[in-house]
Amino acid sequence: MKRFLYTAMLLNFLVLVGTGGLRFFTAFNINLSRLHIFSGVILAILILIHLVDRSKNLKSILLPRRRSPRTNVWLAPVIAVLACATVWATAWLGAQGVSQLMSLSYEQRNHASIFRNQDNVAYHNDDRLIRVTKLTSTDAALDLELLWKSSPSGCAVAIWAETKSGSIIETLYLTGSLKYSEFHPWEQGAARRGVILPVWRHRYTAVCGVDPSGVADLVSQPTINHQWLLDHHLNAAAETFVLFAEVNRPNDDSPSLVYAASIDPESRNPYTLLTLVGHSKGSEKDGELNYDLSVLPADSQIVERILVKTTFAKSLIPADPAKSAP
């Protein structure tokens, strides 16, 4: 039993150290994080079993014999607690030294290109459906539903909103590992975001300040105008904005497809269908849309529909003339 316990503790400790190092130096991976967390849980359980089994020995270590000076009985445990508390506080507060160490992590080295959803955006993804919901501090909301014609194995998707002038407001959804790295497993290898979803990636440069090749864009540095959230347009502005969805399927020899629709606060119909407006053939260099749909293969359209329901703040909803008439 003891051999099993010690062997299991050692193995889980090694896995915990290894996965911790990989999480520090590489992009986020859900499988790696899952393995790290469960190895930690298993190790904690094994250590607890070991402590229970050795409770008598532990007591003799923490509480020496009575002939020992009373001041020495608690000295070692108190020093240990203070030392650990100091290290924990230093890490929590990001004190000098800790910040320099963390600057070596993948997260810090690539923070500009890492995408994270806003706290008020939720999404659900399964074999036939992607659903994205954005709530605001008022009663305004946006609910988008992308329905596939068939199971979209390996498809990459970006959903974002722009002003009428073309400034990106907010990215609402981005597929899997595309969130955490410029490179994404694609077809028989890996490819940059700018190859997989070139239209979105070029426009996202205005937000992150890093162009699709990974070079800092000195012309389109992030500004407050590029950091607006969609909340502003749902809650207060009576200005039309545009929703985009870019979809790409691997191994089909087709470019990514781009769907779009204008969302008008003055419309009394809350439902809008996004329509296919172009594709990304030739867009890798500049991100410009190609509007020639005749070059697309017949089986390239894998999306059944993209439907959005927009609920603006009540103060923006136009009054119904029929109801206001005497």
The domain segmentation of the chain, as residue ranges, is 2-109, 121-316
* Among candidate residues 152, 157, 149, the one with its CA nearest the CA of residue 127: 152
- Tell me how many degrees the CA angle 272-278-284 measures, rounded to the nearest 5: 130
- Tell me how many degrees the CA angle 118-231-122 measures, rounded to the nearest 5: 35
* Among candidate residues 23, 224, 208, the one with its CA nearest the CA of residue 113: 208
Strand locations in the chain (E): 121-125, 129-135, 141-148, 156-163, 168-174, 183-186, 189-192, 241-248, 257-263, 271-273, 275-279, 303-311
Q: What is the pLDDT of residue 225?
A: 46
Residues whose CB falls within 8 Å of the CB of residue 321, separated by 6 or more in sequence, listed in order: none
Q: How many CB atoms lie within 10 A of CB 59?
A: 9
Q: What is the pLDDT of residue 37?
A: 94
Whole-angstrom Cα Rg for the chain: 27
Percent helix / strand / coil, the chain, rounded to 5: 40, 25, 35
Tens of pLDDT along the chain (326 residues) come to 788 888 999 999 999 999 999 989 888 888 899 999 999 999 999 989 888 877 777 666 666 555 555 556 667 778 888 999 999 898 888 888 888 888 888 888 877 778 888 889 999 988 889 999 999 888 899 999 999 998 788 899 999 999 888 888 899 999 988 998 888 889 888 899 999 999 999 999 888 888 888 777 655 555 444 556 888 888 876 688 999 999 999 988 889 999 999 999 888 899 999 999 999 998 888 899 999 998 888 888 889 999 999 998 865 445 555 444 44
Q: Is 228 exposed, middle or buried (CB count within 10 Å of its CB: 0-12, 13-18, 19+)?
A: middle
For 125-144, give one letter per residue: b (16+ CB within 10 A) or e: eeeeebebbbbbebebbbbb
User: Which tokens belong to 101?
Assistant: 């160490």
Which pTM does this prediction carry?
Answer: 0.77
